[in-house]
Amino acid sequence: MSKQKVQQQFGANAAAYATSTVHAKGYSLARLVEITQPQPDWQVLDVATAAGHTAFVFAPHVAHVIASDLTPEMLTVAAGLATEKGLSNVSFEPADAEALPYQDATFDLVTCRIAPHHFPDIQQFITE
C-alpha cells in the first residue's frame, strides 16, 4: 500500500484509535516499560504512534517523548489525548518511519508498537 493510501486509510479512522482496546490497553504496554526500564533523563521516540498510547505509557518515566506518525489526523487525536491526560512532556511530529528526520543517537529509546506490518518497506524502517 502506498504511503498516501496509508494516510488516507488511517486518517479516516484516527478517532477510533483513541478508544481501541487493542491499542489503548494491553499487556504489551506495561511490558515495554518493564523491559526497557526507562530513566528520568531519557529522550524517547515513538514511531507510528497512532493515538499515542505507547508514548503516553513512557511519558511519566522519562524527560521527553516525541510521538511521530505519517498521518496528521493521528497526531491531532494523540495531541488531544495528551492534553486530556495532562502530559506536558510529549510532543507530536509528522515523520515517515522509513525516513526519520532525526540525527543518529538522538534518542535513548525508540519504540514502535503494532505498526511495522503497515510499512511498505520494513527493512528500510529497521535500517532507520
CATH of 3-127, one of 3.90.1200.10, 1.10.10.10, 3.40.50.150, 3.40.50.12280: 3.40.50.150
Q: What is the pLDDT of residue 63?
A: 99
16-46 pLDDT tens trace: 555 656 555 677 889 999 999 999 999 999 9
What's the count of helices (H) and strands (E) in the chain, helices before strands?
7, 4
Domain ranges of the chain: 3-127
- Of the pLDDT bands very low, low, confident and very high (cuts 50, 70, 90), residue 6 is low
Give the residue, 50 or 121, on which the prediction is more confident.
50
Q: What pTM, to 2 d.p., does this model score?
A: 0.79
pLDDT at 71: 86
Coil, strand, or helix at residue 44?
Answer: strand
Contact at 8 Å (CB) between 128 and 99? yes
How confident is the model over 63-111, as pLDDT tens digits? 999 999 998 988 999 999 999 999 999 999 999 888 889 999 999 999 9
Alpha-carbon separation of residue 98 from 27, 56, 68 (angstroms): 27, 23, 12
